[in-house]
Amino acid sequence: MAETIMATDFNFPGQIGYYKGKVREVYHLESDLLIMIATDRLSAFDVVMPKGIPYKGQILNQIATKMMRATSDIVPNWLVATPDPNVAIGQACEPFKVEMVIRGYLSGHAAREYKAGKRILCGVAMPDGMIENDRFDEPIITPATKADEGNHDEDISGEDIIKRGIVSEKDYGILENYTRKLFKRGTEIAKERGLILVDTKYEFGKNKHGEILLIDEIHTPDSSRYFYAEGYEDRQSRGEGQKQLSKEFVRQWLISNGFQGLEGQTVPVMSDEYIKEVSERYIELYQNITGELFVKADLSDIQQRIEDNILNYLEKAK
């Protein structure tokens, strides 16, 4: 099996903080820069799998940074540089404690709530008579509160976000505006690739100047759901499932092996053969989403490569 990066333990010049997420590790420098390293960890059902997926971190980082650059003319973002295939460096921001989820279609969580009889999601009305994967007349924003470590995110309405003081009314208006602009651009990019951007989430924060910036990843297969455009209408008219481009195939494999992240369940062991298959699927996702050939980074010593590239960047940026 190819080498993977599962964890890092760097100590960079001027480092004042460190945060480990499910997939990314973030180093905070005193110069108000953040170094975000995308590992090869695979998370599903809020559980990190024991084995990594070769090239997954590179794929997510490169899709996210390409999409940041493709939307920077309409929404300002945190990104400053990408000195390594697994690394993004940008402005430190204080994150808003909400995820701005936007849905163009009745899929995933929204479809499950709809099937359960709900017609209001996060304060937004959903029309009667829809079937799973139907398109909404207009995309709907269904925010979620950012959970503390170990807890699930929870649905919340924009009205409650403001009422509870999670985000001010003025700032929330900006978040909604940015979310709609990003989704429109993401939809246009997807269409060029023969894809449909079904739903996605965006995260925002404020930099030291009080400016609201787009942060974290965008339009990746881990944060977004895509359908193939070709055959969408036919499949929908026949009531068939849509051909998806996301990490849903991993979730389905886990479910078929008796795991949904519930208490008492054991994570099934992924064979080297299956891990190779997942890696190949992620490469396919990259090429479909970006329209570019994937160039594999050198895996002979990932830790050293990443550290050298970051240190070289910091030295030049002095």
* pLDDT band with cut points at 50, 70 and 90 for residue 46: confident
pLDDT > 60? residue 151: no
Query: What class has domain 15-92+271-317?
Result: alpha beta
Segment 27-55 shows an average pLDDT of 93
Q: Residue 214 has which token pair?
A: 């787009």
Segment 135-155 shows an average pLDDT of 83
**Percent with pLDDT over 90 in the chain:** 85
Do residues 178 and 204 make contact, with C-beta atoms less than 8 angstroms apart?
yes
**Percent with pLDDT over 70 in the chain:** 98
Half-sphere exposure of 247 (CA within 13 A, CB side): 21
Task: Give ∠ CA 35-38-43 in degrees, rounded to 5.
Answer: 135
Please report the pLDDT score of residue 111 as a whole number. 94
Please report the pLDDT score of residue 293 as a whole number. 97
The residues that bridge with 45 in the sheet, in sequence order, are: none
Segment 74-89 shows an average pLDDT of 98
Please report the pLDDT score of residue 1 as a whole number. 60
SS3 33: strand
pLDDT > 80? residue 177: yes
* pLDDT band with cut points at 50, 70 and 90 for residue 87: very high
Do residues 225 and 248 make contact, with C-beta atoms less than 8 angstroms apart?
yes
Query: Of residues 104 and 247, which shows the higher confidence score?
Result: 104
DSSP 6-67: -------TTEEEEEE-SSEEEEEETTSEEEEEE-S--EETTEE-SS--TTHHHHHHHHHHHH
* Residue written as token pair 């849509």: 242
Helical axes 272-290 vs 56-71, angle rounded to 10°: 10
Query: What class has domain 95-188+198-216+230-241?
Result: alpha beta
The residues that bridge with 144 in the sheet, in sequence order, are: 99, 155
pLDDT > 70? residue 272: yes
pLDDT > 60? residue 304: yes
pLDDT > 80? residue 170: yes
pLDDT > 90? residue 51: yes
Please report the pLDDT score of residue 98 as a whole number. 97
CA distance 80 to 35: 10
Please report the pLDDT score of residue 152 as a whole number. 61
Phi first, then psi, for residue 46 (nearest 5°) are 60, 20
Residues of the chain with CATH 3.30.200.20: 15-92+271-317
Please report the pLDDT score of residue 149 as a whole number. 53
CA distance 117 to 230: 30
pTM of the model: 0.92
* pLDDT band with cut points at 50, 70 and 90 for residue 41: very high
Residues of the chain with CATH 3.30.470.20: 95-188+198-216+230-241
Please report the pLDDT score of residue 249 as a whole number. 83
Segment 106-117 shows an average pLDDT of 94
Query: Of residues 175 and 43, which shows the higher confidence score?
Result: 175
